[in-house]
């Protein structure tokens, strides 16, 4: 690649329980290695070039997102940004909170990917949503600059997604059934109460039923309960059977120093005088914000306003989800793009010959884990802790990988990921010795066991945009 800079456009689309928004960003790629070193392409600048207004998420029915209105909104924002869908090369569309449970959520993801550009689609589970929001809000950067343990709590309409960082490293995640739209009303009468809130109310003796007239006194009891749940979670005091806990218990060990809040409810926390959410949305978002602000338990932490609040998730989706592979990669034509590829890790710390001899067993474990019903689900092998390899070692590794890959029920591309610059030498060896094997071999990417990858088409610079999706930390 030339030593100049390549720019690509990235889109972030967030379809949440309460609101939907879009950002379009320009990512600058540059070779940061010296003239005599192996090329290393990195994202050196991220510039947001268009922010959409924040609109209410359109629904056709209680259980169905209005796909036509979402499509119209996306197309309109692209026109305002003066870009074509074909110019979008990376990014993420995420359906977050309770919107992800709607009957047509998965169909909407597929449809958006057809008209919104050639970008990588990441459907956010609660853990991924927590991470994206923490990155987009600036909480991760704050943990790096202060060396303190920072918890970002992103509170939307249906969930509160929590990610805890120290020194920029993820310590853990947690998700709560806490949000503004878990209780809604119409013309002064309660119209909807989330089943999780109903159970929490029952356990706490709070008498609130659908059909009741709105009472700030009783609603405040509910939002105080939500605020208490947040504090209990931060202090690692929440119990496993708590009705407002979504999934697993908090899985970090260090005490939290700083708490930042993002998401729609945070707007009511930081701008209480201008927030009239009860009238705007007929929900408890505004009351929840007051309950959190006034909770004595928060005084145990340093509460800071992050750089981004209501747009934290969509900014994270548009600017923080993409990584860049090494430039010394090898990919067969027609294999990319790939979506939702699970990763199986293989460590060579026990020694190169020993690990090679176990490759068939490791591949079998990967098949049992990701394709137990023999349906042809493919997965990538992440090889790490490798020693310095000579030419004959590369040949032996190529032979072992190809033979192990033959255990799969159908003929599938061999997908290999390295952290070190080994992809091209291994890939060329496989191409020469096994020309019938389809191959994707990329490097300079660090992943964890259980992660998922989206790998986009090769860019002009010879690198591939990669979205790393850490869907769970349990």
Evaluate whether 269 touches 289 at the Cβ level (below 8 Å): yes
Q: What is the pLDDT of residues 151-167, one digit of tens each?
A: 999 998 889 999 999 99
In angstroms, rounded to a whole number, what is the distance separating the alpha carbons of residues 39 and 168? 26
Same domain, 299 and 340: no
Same domain, 192 and 261: yes
Backbone angles phi, psi at 291, to 5 degrees: -65, -40
Residue 169 has pLDDT above 90, yes or no: no
Q: What is the pLDDT of residues 184-226, one digit of tens each?
A: 998 889 999 999 999 999 999 999 999 999 888 999 999 999 9
This prediction has a pTM of: 0.75
Residue 164 is part of a domain; what is its CATH number?
A: 3.30.420
Q: What is the pLDDT of residues 50-60, one digit of tens each?
A: 999 988 888 88
Same domain, 175 and 299: yes
Nearest to 20 by CA among 90, 93, 85: 93
DSSP 349: T
Question: What mean pLDDT is predicted for residues 108-137?
Answer: 74
As a whole-number percent, the residues of the chain with pLDDT over 70 amount to 87
At residue 288, the pLDDT reads: 95
Per 3-state DSSP, the chain is made up of helix, strand and coil in percentages (nearest 5) of 35, 25, 35
The number of folded domains in the chain is 3
Q: What is the pLDDT of residues 322-350, one digit of tens each?
A: 666 666 678 887 888 887 788 888 999 99
Same domain, 102 and 173: no
Same domain, 160 and 181: yes
Task: Give whichever of 83-92, 163-172, 372-381 has the largest mean pLDDT.
Answer: 163-172
At residue 474, the pLDDT reads: 29
At residue 454, the pLDDT reads: 81
At residue 277, the pLDDT reads: 47
As a whole-number percent, the residues of the chain with pLDDT over 90 amount to 44
Return the number of other C-beta atoms located less than 10 Å from residue 361's C-beta: 10
Structural domain boundaries enclosing 382: 319-471
Same domain, 454 and 346: yes
Same domain, 147 and 71: no
**Residue after which a domain boundary falls, among 123, 155, 189:** 123
Residue 365 is part of a domain; what is its CATH number?
A: 3.50.30
**Residue after which a domain boundary falls, among 259, 285, 311:** 311
Q: What is the pLDDT of residues 2-43, one digit of tens each?
A: 456 788 888 888 888 788 889 999 988 877 665 545 556 777
Evaluate whether 179 touches 287 at the Cβ level (below 8 Å): no
**Residue after which a domain boundary falls, among 123, 145, 179:** 123
At residue 107, the pLDDT reads: 75
Same domain, 288 and 139: yes
At residue 426, the pLDDT reads: 93
């Amino acid at each position: 690649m030339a030593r100049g800079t390549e720019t690509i456009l990235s889109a972030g689309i967030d379809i949440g329980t309460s609101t939907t928004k879009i950002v379009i960003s320009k990512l600058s790629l540059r070779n940061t290695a010296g003239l005599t070193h192996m090329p290393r392409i990195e994202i050196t600048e991220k510039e947001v070039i268009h922010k959409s207004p924040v609109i209410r998420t359109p629904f056709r029915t209680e259980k169905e997102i209005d796909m036509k209105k979402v499509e119209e909104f996306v197309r309109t924002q692209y026109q305002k940004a003066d870009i074509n869908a074909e110019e979008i090369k990376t990014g993420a569309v995420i359906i977050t909170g309770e919107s992800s449970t709607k009957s047509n959520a998965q169909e909407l993801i597929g449809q958006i990917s057809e008209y919104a550009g050639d970008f990588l689609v990441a459907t956010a589970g609660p853990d991924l949503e927590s991470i994206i929001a923490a990155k987009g809000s600036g909480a991760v950067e704050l943990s790096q600059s202060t060396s303190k343990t920072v918890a970002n709590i992103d509170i939307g309409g249906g969930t509160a997604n929590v990610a805890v960082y120290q020194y920029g490293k993820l310590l853990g995640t947690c998700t709560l059934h806490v949000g503004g739209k878990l209780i809604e009303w119409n013309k002064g009468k309660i119209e909807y109460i989330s089943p999780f809130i109903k159970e929490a109310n029952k356990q706490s003796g709070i008498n609130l039923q659908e059909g009741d007239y709105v009472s700030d006194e009783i609603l405040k009891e509910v939002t105080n309960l939500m605020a208490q749940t947040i504090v209990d979670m931060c202090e690692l005091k929440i119990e496993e059977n708590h009705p407002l806990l979504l999934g697993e218990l908090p899985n970090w060990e260090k005490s939290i120093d700083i708490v930042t809040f993002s998401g729609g409810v945070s707007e009511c926390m930081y701008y209480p005088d201008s927030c009239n959410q009860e009238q705007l949305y007929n929900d408890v978002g505004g009351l929840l914000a007051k309950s959190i602000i006034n909770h004595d338990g928060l005084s145990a932490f340093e509460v800071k306003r992050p750089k981004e609040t209501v747009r934290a998730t969509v900014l994270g989706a548009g600017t923080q989800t993409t990584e860049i592979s090494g430039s010394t990669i090898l990919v067969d034509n027609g294999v990319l793009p790939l979506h939702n590829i699970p990763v199986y890790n293989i460590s060579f710390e026990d020694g190169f010959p020993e690990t090679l001899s176990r490759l068939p067993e490791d591949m079998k474990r990967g098949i049992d884990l990701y394709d137990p019903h023999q349906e042809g689900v493919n997965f990538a092998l992440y090889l790490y802790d490798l020693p310095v390899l000579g030419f004959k070692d590369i040949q032996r590794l190529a032979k072992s990988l190809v033979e192990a890959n033959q255990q799969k029920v159908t003929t599938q591309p061999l997908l290999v990921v390295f952290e070190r610059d080994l992809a091209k030498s291994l890939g060329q060896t496989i191409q020469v010795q096994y020309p019938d094997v389809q191959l994707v071999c990329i490097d300079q990417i660090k992943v964890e066991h259980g992660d998922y990858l989206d790998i986009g088409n090769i860019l002009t610079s010879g690198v591939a945009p990669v979205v790393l999706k850490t869907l769970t930390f349990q």
